[in-house]
Amino acid sequence: MSIILTDDNFEKEIQKTEKLSLVDFYATWCEPCSMLAPVLEKIEKEFEEKIVLLKANVDDNQLNAQKFKVDRIPMVVLFKNGEPVDSFTGFKPELEIKEWLEKNI
């Protein structure tokens, strides 16, 4: 199950885990975000030993959206040890996301 991020808990949550943190920057009004969410949840289950999924609503996380230069959504950022290592923007099919993850794990 994904963790909901806020500007207040963002840093703590992405550094809290030994796993890679997969942060989904989204908005409730964004159709591609709604399409991507179930794909990411499915992938999280498959990669549960390696990643944790965290969700950051850009309307509620404006400071972190600005900090990580989120100018289009959905934007997915992969963090390792609290630092961003790679990202992608827009809807991607499941297989493409899995290949992207494998490349970064």
85 φ/ψ sector (left φ>0, alpha ψ -120 to 50, else beta): alpha
Residue of 20, 30, 40, 54 marked active site: 30
56 is catalytic: no
Task: Determine what percent of the chain falls in helix, strand and coil, rounding each to the nearest 5.
Answer: 40, 30, 35
15 is catalytic: no
Q: How many domains does the chain have?
A: 1
Residue 17's pLDDT band (boundaries 50, 70, 90)? confident
Give the range of the structural domain holding residue 40, as residue numbers without chain letter: 3-104
| Angstrom distance (rounded) from CA 38 to CA 7 | 23
Tell me what pLDDT residue 1 has: 64
| Angstrom distance (rounded) from CA 29 to CA 49 | 31
Per-residue pLDDT tens digits for 51-67: 999 999 999 999 999 99
CATH number at residue 100: 3.40.30.10
User: Rounded to the nearest 10 degrees, how much is the dihedral formed by the CA atoms of 69, 11, 21, 93?
Assistant: -30
Residue 18's pLDDT band (boundaries 50, 70, 90)? confident
Residue 19's pLDDT band (boundaries 50, 70, 90)? very high
Residue of 33, 51, 70, 75 marked active site: 33
Q: What is the mean pLDDT of the chain?
A: 94
